[in-house]
């Protein structure tokens, strides 16, 4: 009898712990919801910035966007910024672009401290 009560209590505890863990993982990371320019797109040489919207607020001190040309040279004119009025929006200003392929690499640290990162390319014509 004691063993079955102990097993039932242990099972309930494990289910509760698993439920909490899954709930935390579901909301623990910031992922892009919109990118401009978007991955694989072609844009004119007048493109002034790269902007990414995320599904969770970002920690400005640790989140960033880097943009490089085909030779790996940075083409940003300033550090990336998280919008203080919308912490889900991060952007970086660009130097004047010439035709070619450009790579965007982003790092997003969610307000809860979880890190995500990604990269994509776009073309300038």
The predicted structure's pLDDT at residue 74: 98
Tens of pLDDT along 88-120? 999 999 999 999 999 999 999 999 999 999 999
Predicted structure pTM score? 0.79
| Answer CATH for 29-124 from 2.60.40.1220, 1.10.150.20, 3.30.70.260, 2.40.10.10 | 2.60.40.1220
The predicted structure's pLDDT at residue 28: 63
* Residue 48 per-residue DSSP state: -
Tens of pLDDT along 16-69? 444 444 444 455 699 999 999 999 999 999 999 999 999 999 999 999 999 999
Which residues 6+ apart lie within 8 Å of 38 measured at CB?
122
Which neighbouring-strand residues pair with 47? none
Closest CA to 92 of 109, 114, 107: 107
Alpha-carbon dihedral 18, 19, 23, 26, rounded to 10 degrees: 60
The predicted structure's pLDDT at residue 7: 54
* Token pair of 76 as six digits: 């940003």
């Amino acid at each position: 009898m004691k063993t079955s009560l102990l097993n039932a209590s242990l099972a309930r505890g494990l289910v509760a712990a698993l439920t909490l863990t899954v709930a935390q993982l579901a909301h623990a990371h910031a992922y892009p919801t919109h990118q401009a320019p978007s991955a694989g797109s072609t844009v004119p040489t007048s493109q002034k910035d790269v902007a990414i919207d995320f599904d969770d607020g970002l920690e400005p001190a640790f989140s960033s966007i880097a943009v490089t040309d085909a030779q790996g040279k940075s083409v940003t004119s300033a550090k990336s910024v998280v919008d203080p009025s919308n912490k889900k929006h991060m952007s970086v200003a660009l130097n004047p672009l010439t035709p070619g392929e450009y790579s965007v690499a982003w790092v997003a640290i969610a307000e809860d401290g979880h890190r995500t990162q990604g990269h994509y390319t776009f073309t300038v014509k």
